[in-house]
Amino acid sequence: MRSLMLCLTTAVLAACSATAPPAAAPTAEAHRVKAHVDFLAHDLLQGREATSKGYAVAAHYVASQMAAIGLSPAGDSGDWLQEVPLLRAERLREGASMRLLRGDETLSFEFESDYLPGVNYHRESWQVRAPLVFVGQAVVAAEFDHDDLAGVDVRGKIAVLFSGAPARFPNDQRAYYSSSRVKQDLLVERGAVGIVWLGDPEREGKYPWARGAKNWGRPSMRLRDQNGPLDTHPELLGTASINVEAARRLFAGAPVEAEQLFQDLESGRLKAFDLGTELELRGSNRLSAERCWNVVGQLPGNDPLKATEHVVYSAHLDHLGLGAPVNGDAIYNGALDNALGVALLLETARLAKAAPAVARSQLFVAVTAEEKGLLGSDYFAGHPSVPGELIANINMDMPVVLGPVRDALPIGIEHSDLESVVRDQASALGLQLSADPFPEEVVFIRSDQFSFIRRGIPAVYIDGGVISAGPGFDAKQSLTDFLRTHYHQPSDQADLPIHYPSAARIADLNAAVGAKVADQAARPRWNAGDFFASKFAPKQDAAVGEH
């Protein structure tokens, strides 16, 4: 009897084994994503500002989660953390002044209500007095026969300009030429000694001056090395921003007055001219050397020939910290921006760990100081904490999913052959893909993927969708409302109606795209003739164009 039972048991087990379907691939789990957001956006972390104690707690939390998932530490010296050296500039109210000098007349401007001085990373007390020259949007783009500096000499002068770039430019070029870094590089190269950024009615309608002015005192930061700050210009003696009303006073009596300039900005007909006046700017700031950390985990590749090539998943861990109270709340928690992005990074890592091994290595990087100017990702892209090459970047930043959606927004896929990978994997998951609904916001250069783009590395930024998946919810309007009401405000917190199942599907897509890129024969390539390739990967662009 015992022998018979053993035979029957063996037969049953064999039959079950023969007919059992293969295990389904793991998918992202909404409750895990929510748990990460609830912790990272908690008041106890006080907004996770870079270099703060709250940020340090967040960094160690992410490291512990990476360890629990089963990643390997890939920071400095076998640790989870990569140190990022920073220079902190704390703005000071004392000594700030702005005066317009027109012949014998002197016109003073009021701090905060009219103007806000910038920071100087090379001097704690600074001043500049120089003639004013209006330079449009400070865009020189030969490919469009566009030169905002035509007819003027900015040497030894303070350049006065609007932000942005002409609306007639294609989205990519408009994004690039909107960069304040590109504008400053150009103006310093031409000899400017100061910059005044002008407000305009449309921009102030979206981002009220008073809201930004309340948080003027937040510290600014730059990367540093043993010689001092990086990506700064000691030639720029002083900078400031002024609002619309102050611009009207600044241009009163000038060859072209402010109201006409606002109209010319809308129509794209700005022309440079000397104002015939001088401006005196003074300001002060306290400088200090600081450090913060990126958190880096790794899944090694299983192909000895490709394991030193890395696919990088990124999300910024920092937010704004403490700031001006709004309705009594001074903690800028950053739930969507970007606790949710980091939660998706961790869930993507969990999926990657559970999936079959792939040829190339995968890095999961929670970067610091994005809110200070993409500093953590800039440092990592320039100083990878692992040997080998970075071949692609998949970034996660502020996925606004406040209701059920059936799509995702893959920002930047049109620049490289990552597009076909994203489209194929989205189709397999039943996800639609939508175009950027607000290209004028130039988000492609405003998040961490741009740090990789600037080093010639193809990248994509997959955001939340705009196609509603249920009645009574308008996804695009929800995004608009979030940007107007909650973006960079204390109300961006975990009690917003985040639709975690929709958010989790972004992690599914990220993991699928990353696995495909990590396992395919060829590394990602820029598209032939792509604008960003021509700027940042000209050799590869030329090679692609030959085929």
pLDDT band of residue 442 (cuts 50, 70, 90) is confident
Query: Average pLDDT, stretch 335-356?
Result: 98
Task: Name the nearest CA neighbour of 238 among 134, 113, 124, 161.
Answer: 124
Q: Which pLDDT score is estimated for 58?
A: 99
Query: Average pLDDT, stretch 38-56?
Result: 99
Say whether domain 96-287 belongs to CATH 3.50.30.30: yes
Q: Which pLDDT score is estimated for 544?
A: 52
Task: Name the nearest CA neighbour of 81 among 291, 229, 225.
Answer: 291
- Residue 495, pLDDT > 70, answer yes
Residue percentage of the chain with pLDDT more than 90: 88
Q: How many CB atoms lie within 10 A of CB 257?
A: 14
Mean residue pLDDT across the chain: 93
pLDDT band of residue 211 (cuts 50, 70, 90) is confident
Q: Which pLDDT score is estimated for 25?
A: 72
Query: Average pLDDT, stretch 369-388?
Result: 98
Query: Average pLDDT, stretch 202-211?
Result: 90
The token pair that represents 292 in the structure block: 């913060």
Helices 180-189/171-178 angle, 10° precision: 60
Bridge-partner residues for 353, per DSSP?
A: none
Q: Which CATH number fits domain 30-83+291-472+498-545: 3.40.630.10, 3.40.50.300, 3.30.230.10, 3.40.50.970?
A: 3.40.630.10
Query: Average pLDDT, stretch 188-199?
Result: 98
Read off the pTM.
Answer: 0.92
Q: Which pLDDT score is estimated for 21?
A: 52
- Residue 5, pLDDT > 90, answer no
| Residues 377 and 448: beta-carbon distance below 8 Å | yes
Cis (ω within 30 of 0) for the bond into 338? yes
Mention every residue, 6+ apart, whose C-beta is less than 8 A from residue 250: 100, 132, 160, 196, 242, 258, 275
| Helices and strands (H, E) in the chain, number of each type | 17, 21
Of 18 and 311, which is predicted with more confidence?
311
Task: Name the nearest CA neighbour of 404 among 259, 504, 524.
Answer: 504
Q: Which pLDDT score is estimated for 89?
A: 97
**Distance from C-alpha of 148 to C-alpha of 255, rounded to nearest angstrom:** 16
Query: Average pLDDT, stretch 251-277?
Result: 97
The token pair that represents 229 in the structure block: 């700050």
Mention every residue, 6+ apart, whose C-beta is less than 8 A from residue 57: 44, 45
**Distance from C-alpha of 152 to C-alpha of 150, rounded to nearest angstrom:** 6
The token pair that represents 34 in the structure block: 């929510």
| Residues 294 and 369: beta-carbon distance below 8 Å | no
Express each pLDDT in 502-535 by its tens digit.
999 999 999 999 999 999 999 999 999 999 999 9
Q: Where are the domains of the chain?
A: 30-83+291-472+498-545, 96-287
- Residue 15, pLDDT > 90, answer no
Of 426 and 437, which is predicted with more confidence?
426
- Residue 34, pLDDT > 60, answer yes
Residue percentage of the chain with pLDDT more than 70: 94
Express each pLDDT in 132-149 by its tens digit.
999 999 999 999 999 999
- Residue 547, pLDDT > 70, answer no
Please write down the long-range contacts of 101-104, taking CB distance under 8 Å and 24 or more positions apart: 101/129, 101/277, 101/278, 101/279, 101/280, 102/253, 102/276, 102/277, 102/278
Mention every residue, 6+ apart, whose C-beta is less than 8 A from residue 373: 220, 221, 222
Task: Name the nearest CA neighbour of 418 among 445, 443, 393, 437.
Answer: 393
Express each pLDDT in 82-103 by its tens digit.
999 999 999 999 999 999 999 8
Q: Which pLDDT score is estimated for 207?
A: 85
Q: Which pLDDT score is estimated for 8?
A: 36
Sequence-ordered alpha helix ranges (H) in 218-326:
244-250, 258-267
Task: Name the nearest CA neighbour of 41 among 338, 327, 295, 315.
Answer: 338
Beta pairing, strands 146-147 & 321-326: unpaired
- Residue 201, pLDDT > 70, answer yes
pLDDT band of residue 212 (cuts 50, 70, 90) is confident
Q: Which pLDDT score is estimated for 23?
A: 56
Q: Which pLDDT score is estimated for 541?
A: 52
Express each pLDDT in 401-421 by its tens digit.
999 999 999 999 999 999 999
Q: Which helix (H) or strand (E) holds 314?
A: strand 309-316
**Distance from C-alpha of 436 to C-alpha of 464, rounded to nearest angstrom:** 10
Express each pLDDT in 382-391 by its tens digit.
999 999 999 9
- Residue 428, pLDDT > 90, answer yes
Task: Name the nearest CA neighbour of 515 among 444, 452, 424, 434.
Answer: 424
Backbone phi, psi, residue 338, to 5°: -145, 40
- Residue 545, pLDDT > 60, answer no
